[in-house]
Amino acid sequence: MDVSEVRGANYEAQFADVADMDDFYGRIEDMGVVCGWRKGGDQSRDAEPSSPYKSAHWKYAQCRAALDAAAKLISAEEAGRRILNFRNPIPENDLGSSRTLLNAYQLVMPGEKAPSHRHTAHALRVILDSKDMYSVVSGEKTLMETGDVVLTPGGMWHSHEHNGDAPAYWIDGLDVPLVNLLQVQTWEPYPGGYEKVEKVVRVSPMRFAGEDIQRRLDAAAPDTEGYYGPRVLLETPDMPTIGVHVMRLEAGQSTRQYRTNANITFASMQGSGTTIIDGEEINWNHGDIFVAPTWRWIEHRANEDVQLFSMTDAPLLEFAKYLKFEGKE
């Protein structure tokens, strides 16, 4: 190899007769570089956080009807999981309520069993309508009944088993888009189909029972600044990318406007109301899901007594020292 080429002499000659900036840009086109003085791509120079993701709303009653129809056409064995995943309505997005969070509705019919599997993504279930439904996580079998929140940390084998006589419906929440972004996604079926049940329990760190959530809300103090109603944190130490809260609002109560650079999805576990996200009104009912992407003004108004679930990527942003919060006077 010519030593002068290694030292860049030939490269200098390549640019010696550059006529203007258009000529310059043309010559670097195949070099795999981007000029830092040209705004574009991921080189945002905005003064505030921004996201192309939109506020969006998915209706439980509508999706439940769709799942009921699907249950007549596809079995749990064929589907693996009978799920409707949500897609934020922006171009080129085919999965995810927001940039980092995924939500879905799932249906399990009486007598069905969903095979065991595991994946990188952390997951949770907000149980909307269910009786005698069970989750098996790492060999531990526990209830999944109306009002519960059940966790499935990433990497743990899990399956579902319905011993009741009415369909079971719940909300899934996962950090799948984040996992895909980081390119660490994995998915494995359990050898033989179903993990062995080692023990059956009523109390588990994987389950927040509905009655326990109610007791904690009864004891919760109001937010003195008015951004939230009384709310409780559901601890997820094995799922550090997701923060989970349940908030209570009384009929007619409104919250003070705030915004954060975290992504948040909300779901009504009880009651109906209106949430205003950057001036857009979303009228929601029991079981509905809606999303507030990063840096949108959020305000809730309860039409009746409400219990509102939320999941957010705020713990991840806080860990990285990126988290921002701002309230409106």
Write down the pLDDT at residue 4: 47
Statement to judge: residues 62 and 103 lie in one domain: yes
Per-residue pLDDT tens for 234-251?
Answer: 999 999 999 999 999 999
Calculate mean pLDDT across residues 209-229: 97
User: Residue 124 forms beta bridges with which residues?
Assistant: 151, 173
- Range(s) of the domain holding residue 170: 57-209
Ranking 22-36, 55-69, 270-284, 296-310 by mean pLDDT, the lowest is: 22-36
Give the mean model confidence (pLDDT) for residues 293-309. Answer: 98
- 105 forms bridges with which residues in the sheet? 84, 171
Which pLDDT does position 280 carry in this prediction? 97
78 with 205, same domain? yes
- If asked whether residues 268 and 311 sit together in one domain, one would say yes
pLDDT of residue 78: 83
Specify whether 91 is located in the same domain as 219: no
Q: Which of 193, 209, 225 is the last residue of a domain?
A: 209
Same domain for 201 and 283, yes or no, is no
| Strand partners for 301 | 254, 274
Bridge partners (DSSP) listed for residue 307: 248, 270
Q: Mean pLDDT, to the nearest integer, of 301-324?
A: 98
64 shares its domain with 203: yes
Residues 267-284: tens digit of each pLDDT: 999 999 999 999 999 999
Give a yes or no: residue 12 inside a domain: no
Residue 48 lies in a domain: no
Instruction: Looking at the structure, tell me whether residues 104 and 175 fall in a common domain.
Output: yes
> Can you give the pLDDT at residue 6?
53
241 and 178 share one domain: no
Of all residues in the chain, what percent carry a pLDDT higher than 90?
87
pLDDT at 9: 59
Both 188 and 219 in a single domain? no
User: What pLDDT is attached to residue 11?
Assistant: 87
pLDDT digits (tens, 9 = 90+) for 159-187: 999 999 999 999 999 999 999 999 999 99
Please state, rounded to an integer, the average pLDDT across all residues of the chain: 94
Residue 24 in any domain: the answer is no
Count other C-beta atoms under 10 Å from residue 103's C-beta: 25
For 122, the token pair is 């952390």
- Say if residue 75 is in the same domain as residue 177: yes
* 304 vs 2: which has the higher pLDDT: 304
Instruction: Evaluate if residue 44 carries a pLDDT over 70.
Output: no
CATH number at residue 285: 2.60.120.10
Q: What is the pLDDT of residue 3?
A: 46
Per-residue pLDDT averaged across 10-17, rounded?
88
Q: Please state which of the ranges 41-55, 60-74, 111-125, 266-280 shows the lowest mean pLDDT.
A: 41-55
Q: What does the pLDDT look like over 79-130, one tens digit per residue?
A: 878 999 999 999 999 999 999 999 999 999 999 998 999 999 999 999 999 9
pTM for this prediction: 0.91
Domain closes at, from 192, 209, 226: 209
Which of the listed residues 209, 232, 250 is the one where a domain comes to its end?
A: 209
Flag whether pLDDT at 36 surpasses 90. Answer: no
Tell me whether residue 112 is in a domain. Answer: yes
**Count of domains observed in the chain:** 2
The verdict on residue 41 lying in a domain is no
Q: What percent of the chain has pLDDT over 70?
A: 95
pLDDT of residue 1: 44
Q: Which amino acid is at 206?
A: M
Does 147 share its domain with 218?
no
